[in-house]
Structure 1
Amino acid sequence: MFIFKKYKNLLLRSYKVLKKLKIENKKKSVLKLTLLSFLSYLLELISLGSIIPLIFLILKKDQMMEYVNDIDYLSEFSYSEILVISISAILFFSVLKFFILVYFNYYKNFFFAKVQTSSSSYLLEKYLNNSYFFYLKKNVSELIANIKAEAERFRGFLSILIDLMFELFVISSILIFLLYVNFIASVVFAFFIIFSSYLFLKIVKKYTKRIGEKKSYFYKVVNNHLFLIFKNIKFIKIFNLYDYSIKTFKEIDTKELKQTAKYLTVSSIPKIYFDFIFILSTIILICLLFFFFKEDDTLVIGQYLSIYGLMAFRVLPSISRIYSYIQQINFYGNSVTIFSNNIFSNTFRENKNNFLFKKLSQNILYEFSKVQFKYNKKDKSIIENTSFKINFGDKIVITGPSGVGKSTIVDLILGVLEPTEGKIFINKNFAKNFNTLKNKLGYVSQDLKLIDGSIKENITFGSDIKNLSKREMDERLNKCAATTNSHSFINKLKRKFNTKIYEDGKNLSAGQRQRILIARSIFNNPKLLVMDEPTSALDLNNSNKIIKNIVKFNKSMTLIVVTHHKTILKNFNKFLNINNSKILIKGK
C-alpha cells in the first residue's frame, strides 16, 4: 500500500483528467477493461496454480493417486490418464490465457490511444478558446509539446498503471498461497524481497523523477530550436549558418539524450538487481527449509523448493516489472503534473466577445467610447481615451508610424483584444452576437499563413462550401481571382486552382501568397472587410489596382485598411492617423 500513498496525488490528478475527458463509450470501455483485467488475472492464477498439483502428481505418485481415487468421476482413470488430463488442462488454460492477454493488451492500447486523442483535442480546444493575451506570452513549441508529448506521456502513465495493478494482484495472491504452504518461511522470504525492493526504490525514486523533469524541459527546448531553424531557413542559407545551427542543435539534443540514456540505464538495473536477489533468496530459503526439516527429509525439502522455485520464477520477474513501472511512473510523473495543470489551470482566460451588441443609430456600425488599451498594467497606453464611430459603408484607412498601434486598433475592432478601459459597441441590427458577426466578416493580414493544400482549398479555407454547386464555386473563385489580380499567375499553372501549395506557400512568391490570402478574405462577399497591411509584398501599381477592385467588389461593404502606401488614400472617405497614443480622425 505504500505505493498508493506515495503516488496518491498523481492518481488523483489522473482520475480527474480522465473524468473530464470526452471519450466515446467511456464508462462501457472502462468496465470492459476492468473485466478483461480481472479475467486475465484469474487465468494467470489458474495456469500457475495448476502446475503445483502436477508437481505433486510426479513427486508423490501414490499419495496423489489415493486422493484422486476418492473422487468418483476420477477413480476410473489410470495414473497415465490422470497425467495426460493434468497436462492437457494446463495447456488449455495456458492457450486461453495467451489469447485473453493478447486481446486484453489490444483493447487496453486502443482505449488509451483514444484517451490520448481526447486529451490532446481537449487541450487544443482549451488553448484555442483562450484569450489572445495568452498567445502573446506563450512559446508555440511549448504548446505543441504539451498537446503531443505530454499527452502521450499521460497515456503512457495510465497504461503503466493498469499493468502495475495487474502485477500487484498476481504477487499478492501468490504471497497468500505461500503463507498457507509455510507461514514462517514465507514471511522471512517475503520480508527479504520486499525490504530489498523498497530499499532499491528509495534510492532510485528521486533520481528518476529528476531525470523526467529534465527530459521534459530539454524536449521542449529541442522542439523550439528546430522550429526556429526551419522558420529562419532563408536567413541561415544567406549567411551560411549551417555549422552554427547544427552545433547548437547538437548541444541541446545531447543534453536531452543524456537524460534518456540515464533513464534507460536506471531502467535496466531492476533485472540485474533482482537476478541477484533471486540467488540470495534461494540460499536463504534452502537454509530455512533445512532448519525446519530434518536432513533426511530431502523429498519434502525438494517439494517445497519446487513450489517456492516455481513461485519465485513468476514473482521475481513481476517485481522487476513493478519497479520498472514505478520508475516509469516517476519519469512520467512530471508530465502528468504539467498536463493536468494545463487542463485545470485557472490562468487561462476564456476567449470572449470583447465588444457589446446594442441598438445604435441606423447608419452607425461601430462605436468606440473612451477606449484605452495597454498590454500590461505597468505599460504606457497604446491608445488613450479614444472615441470615434464607423458608419455602414465607410471606407477607412488607418495610417501612422510603425509600432504606434495600428494593428492593435484592428484587433480591437475584430474583438480579439479587450479594451483596458471604455467600451466598444456594435450595431445589433448588423449582428446580434459574435457568431452572426463572423459570418459577415472578412479579414486578411500579413501574418496569416497559407495551408498545405490547393489554391482552391486556400481561398475557401474556413468557408462553408458544402452547398455550393460546381458552377457557383467556379464563379466565386474566378471573381476573387480577378479582383485580386491572381488570374495572371493562376492561369499559367498546369492545374490552375487545383495547384498544390506547399508549407507557407514556399512554391509561390510573396506577392502571389498575399493575393491568395486577399482572395480568401473576400470569398464569402463580407459586409465588413478588415485588412492589415494586405499589400505589403506588392508593388504600388498592383496595390492600387487591388484596392480599387475590392471597393468595386461590393460598394456597400464597410472597408477598413491598415497601410503604409499613401497612393491608395484616394479610395477612402475616412482617415485614422495614430501617433503618441492619440487618434486623429479626418473625413466624413
Structure 2
Amino acid sequence: MNQSDHIQRLKLIAPYKKEVFFALSIMLVTAVAQLALPKLVNYYVDGLAPATLFASFHLYTLLAIIVFSLLSAVRFYLFERLGIKVVSHFRLTIHKTLLHKTASYFDAINIAELASRINADTQMLKDALTTSAAQAIRATTITIGCIIMMFTLSTTLSLVLLFCIPTFIFATKLLSKKIEPLSEREQDALAKTNKIAFDNLNGHTLIKLYSWFGSSQNRYHNTTQSYITCAKRTISAIAVFQAFFNFLIFSSLIIMLILGSHLIKQNTLTIGELASYVLYLGMAFTSLNSLASFWAEWVHTLGATRYLFQLLDNDNDVEPLAQSKRRFIGDIRFRDVSFYYPNKPEKHIFEKLNIQIKQGQTTVISGPSGNGKSTLAKLLLGYYLPTNGEIMIGNHSLNKLSIACFRKTIAYVEQEPIMFSSSIIENLIPEATNTPTPDQMNRVISACKKANAHDFIEQLPDGYFTQICDRGNQLSGGQKQRIAIARAILHEPEVVILDEYTSALDIENQQVIEQAMHNLLVNKTVIIISHKQEHIANADNLILL
C-alpha cells in the first residue's frame, strides 16, 4: 500500500467538489451540535437549568434537536446520492475501457468473474469512499472537539488519557498491514465462486445430459469454502482489533471514574462536570472506534479494488478508436502472414500465408477442420493482428490504428449469431433503444424485409420490441440467422464474411437464408467459409487451407 493508492481512489470524487463541500458543511454543523450535548447534561445535572417546563431555554433546546435531526437526514441523503454517482461513473469508465480491450485480453480472463468484480468491488468502494469516509471525517471532528472540551473540564484527567492515543495509532497501523492482503485474497475467492456458478448455470443442459449434478455442486462448494476461509481470516483480524479497542475504552472509562470521584471529594470537580467528562470520553472513544472501523474498511477496499484500477491503468490491450471516417476498399492480400494465438504461442496456425481475395468477387475458403478458416476471418475482422507479415486492403495495411476504420466496411454472419438479451430493435440498431426515430424504423423494416425476417418478427408478441431473453434462445436458428443478415444489411458493408452460416439449418431454412443472402451480397466482396459443394461451385475463387 502506498500513497498513490489512496490518491487514485480519492480522485474519483474530484468531479463532485461542490456536492462534497455542501455535504461536508452540513456534516460539520451536526458534529459541532453533537458536541453540545454533554455540556447540556452538565448544565442539567448541576441544577443550572430553569425549573419551569415551558421555559424558553427548553423550547430552544427542543428546536435545536429538531433541526439537528433534519440536518442529519439531509447529510445521509447527500452522501448516499454522492456515492451512487461516484460508483456509477466508475463503472461506466471500467465498462468503456473493457469494450475497447482486444480479443486477446478476453481470451485470458473469465468474463463471469470480471462481471462479478465490477459489481461487488465497486459497491465496496462506494461505501468506503462516501458514507464511511464522511462518518470518519465526522468522527475526527468529534474526537478533536471532545479532547478540547475534556481539557477545559479537567486537565488532570485528560493528561492521563494521552497514553491511549499512541496505542490506538499503533494498533490501527498493525491492522491495516494485516487486512489489505487478506481482503485481496477474499475478493479473488469470491470472484471464483461467481465464475463457477456462471459456468454451471451456463452449461446446465450439459450437466443434465451427463448427470454431472454432484461434481458441479462440489466444484461450487469447494470454491465457496475457500471464500469462507479467506473471509474468516479477514474477520478474525478485525475482531481481534475490536476486542483490544473495547478493552482500551472500558479500562480507560473505569480509570476516569475512579480519578473523577477522587477529584469530586477534593471539590476540584463537580458531579455535573464528571458526568459531562464521561460523556465526552464515551463520544471520543466511539468516534475513535468509528475511525478504526473506517480504516479497516478503507484498507479492505484498497486490496479489493486493486484489480479494477490495474485494469484501468493497463492500456497495452486496448484498441484505439477510428482515426478517420475513411472506408477501406480494394483487393485483400495476405503477405507472408504468420499467426499464433497469444495464449498458445507453441501452436502456429499460419506460416507465411500468401493469398489474394479480389474486390467484388465471391471467394470460398475451404479445408479440413482446424486448418485456420475461422482464424482467417478473425484476422480480417481485426480481432487479432498477424504475428508476422501484413494484411493489405487495397493500398492500406490492416494494423492496430486502421482496424476500427476497416470494420466500417465489413459485416460478419456466423453459424451461431450473437444476440443481446434485449429487444429485436436493439439487436439491429443498438442506438435506437426502444424509441427509434421514424427514419430508423423505416431502415430496419426495409433491411428485415430483404433478410426475410420482417414477417416472423411481426408475428412476435411485441413485434420489433419483443425481448428475446438470454442469447436469443427463444428464437430458432433460422430466425437468428435472418436477424444477423438484417444487421449486416443495415451496416452497408463493402466486405461480407459468411462463416458456416447454413451448416446447422434444415433445407427449408437454408433456402430462406440463401434468398436473403442474395439481397445482401449484391456488388460486395464476399468471403464464404464453407465445405458445401454448391457454395464452391458458385464461387469466383476457391482458397484451400
- Report the TM-score when normalising by structure 2: 0.86
The answer on whether the counterparts of 1:17 and 1:340 sit within 8 Å (CA) in structure 2 is no
| Equivalent runs, 1:389-400 vs 2, <5 Å | 389-400=356-367
* TM-superposition CA deviations, 1:56-96 (whole Å, max 9, x none): 465164xx9xxxxxxxxxxxxxx547993433333333322
Cα distance between partner residues in 1 of 2:317 and 2:460 = 45
1:441 counterpart = 2:410 = yes
Q: Secondary structure at the match of 2:380?
A: helix
Match of 1:216 in 2: 187
Match of 1:163 in 2: 135
Q: Secondary structure at the match of 1:382?
A: strand
* TM-superposition CA deviations, 1:460-484 (whole Å, max 9, x none): 45789635265554333222126xx
- Report the TM-score when normalising by structure 1: 0.80
Write the letter of the residue equivalent to 2:196: H
The answer on whether the counterparts of 1:452 and 1:502 sit within 8 Å (CA) in structure 2 is yes
Q: Secondary structure at the match of 1:372?
A: strand
Match of 1:149 in 2: 120
Alpha-carbon distance, 1:113 to partner: 0.8
Match of 1:342 in 2: 311
Cα distance between partner residues in 1 of 2:489 and 2:20 = 51
Cα distance between partner residues in 2 of 1:240 and 1:392 = 51
Match of 2:377 in 1: 410
Q: Secondary structure at the match of 1:481?
A: coil
> Which consecutive unaligned segments of at least 5 residues does structure 2 have?
none
Equivalent residues, number: 538
Match of 1:286 among 257, 264, 272: 257
| Equivalent runs, 1:21-40 vs 2, <5 Å | 26=15, 29-40=16-27
Q: Say if 1:492 and 1:337 are closer, same or farther in 2 by CA, change over 3 A.
A: closer
| Equivalent runs, 1:553-572 vs 2, <5 Å | 553-572=520-539
The answer on whether the counterparts of 1:459 and 1:520 sit within 8 Å (CA) in structure 2 is yes
1:46 counterpart = 2:18 = no
1:387 counterpart = 2:354 = yes
CA RMSD of aligned residues (A): 3.6
Alpha-carbon distance, 1:266 to partner: 5.9
Match of 2:223 in 1: 252
Alpha-carbon distance, 1:135 to partner: 1.4
Match of 1:94 among 65, 82, 99: 65
Alpha-carbon distance, 1:439 to partner: 4.2
Match of 1:576 in 2: 543
Cα distance between partner residues in 2 of 1:576 and 1:440 = 22
Alpha-carbon distance, 1:534 to partner: 1.6
Q: Say if 1:31 and 1:270 are closer, same or farther in 2 by CA, change over 3 A.
A: farther
Q: Say if 1:259 and 1:380 are closer, same or farther in 2 by CA, change over 3 A.
A: closer
Q: Which moved more, 1:563-572 or 1:42-51?
A: 42-51
| Equivalent runs, 1:47-446 vs 2, <5 Å | 47-49=34-36, 51-52=38-39, 55-56=42-43, 58-59=45-46, 61=48, 79-80=50-51, 84-159=55-130, 160-192=132-164, 194-195=165-166, 197-198=168-169, 200-201=171-172, 204-260=175-231, 263=234, 276-289=247-260, 293=263, 295=265, 297=267, 300-351=269-320, 364-376=330-342, 378-427=345-394, 437-446=406-415
Q: Say if 1:463 and 1:36 are closer, same or farther in 2 by CA, change over 3 A.
A: closer
Identity of aligned residues (%): 20
Match of 1:14 in 2: 9
Q: Secondary structure at the match of 1:384?
A: strand
Match of 2:476 among 509, 520, 538: 509
* TM-superposition CA deviations, 1:112-162 (whole Å, max 9, x none): 111111111111111111222211222212321332222222222212223
Q: Secondary structure at the match of 2:427?
A: helix
Cα distance between partner residues in 2 of 1:520 and 1:177 = 72
* TM-superposition CA deviations, 1:422-469 (whole Å, max 9, x none): 33232479x997666444432122354212234454344578963526
The answer on whether the counterparts of 2:150 and 2:281 sit within 8 Å (CA) in structure 1 is no
Write the letter of the residue equivalent to 1:305: L
Q: Secondary structure at the match of 2:439?
A: coil
